[in-house]
């Protein structure tokens, strides 16, 4: 019985030491880097990735992450918001909520479904053969 009193607290200490606290900015950053490394068009080695804010709730985390080219000023970067879910001892990205900047960064491939702007022309000018635009106007049917 005397040994049982010693074994129970010792077992508790061992088990608590083995459970990893992943509610840290660094653990969230690692989960986001793991997610981004699956994107073959992204060169993570050329970027500084910084977790600028995280909120934890149970098994979920909401993170704001800043990206900028290595050595560049912060204004050359962008921010992204991620929802993560705890899976075992790591964070896994559930979805990317939105971004804080629209321009692509050096080292990043363009998004596959993003429309591109025409290469030339004045700002606000529509591409050739574009139907007229205006309030309440609809293109004529031919």
Three-state SS at 57: strand
Over range 130-135, report the average pLDDT: 66
Q: What is the DSSP string of 61-126?
A: EEEEEEEEETT--GGG-EEEEEEEEEETTEEEEEEEEEES--SPPTTBPPPTTPPPPPSSS-TTPP
Domains in the chain, ordered, with CATH? 20-99 (3.10.450.630)
How far apart CA 10 and CA 18 sit, in angstroms, is 13
How far apart CA 21 and CA 27 sit, in angstroms, is 9
Range among 2-6, 41-45, 83-87 with highest mean pLDDT value: 83-87
Each residue's pLDDT tens digit, 11-60: 554 554 455 688 999 999 999 999 999 876 888 889 999 999 999 999 99
């Amino acid at each position: 019985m005397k040994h049982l009193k010693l074994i129970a607290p010792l077992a508790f200490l061992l088990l608590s030491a083995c459970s990893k606290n992943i509610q840290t900015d660094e653990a969230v950053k690692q989960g986001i880097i793991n997610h981004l490394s699956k994107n073959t068009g992204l060169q993570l080695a050329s970027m500084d990735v910084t977790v600028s804010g995280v909120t934890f709730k149970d098994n979920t985390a909401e993170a704001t992450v800043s990206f900028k080219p290595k050595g560049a000023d912060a204004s050359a970067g962008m921010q992204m918001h991620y929802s993560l879910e705890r899976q075992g001892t790591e964070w896994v990205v559930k979805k990317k909520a939105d971004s804080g900047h629209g321009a692509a960064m050096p080292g990043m491939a363009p998004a596959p479904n993003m429309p591109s702007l025409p290469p030339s022309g004045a700002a606000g000018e529509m591409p050739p053969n574009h139907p007229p635009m205006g309030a309440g106007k609809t293109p004529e049917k031919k």
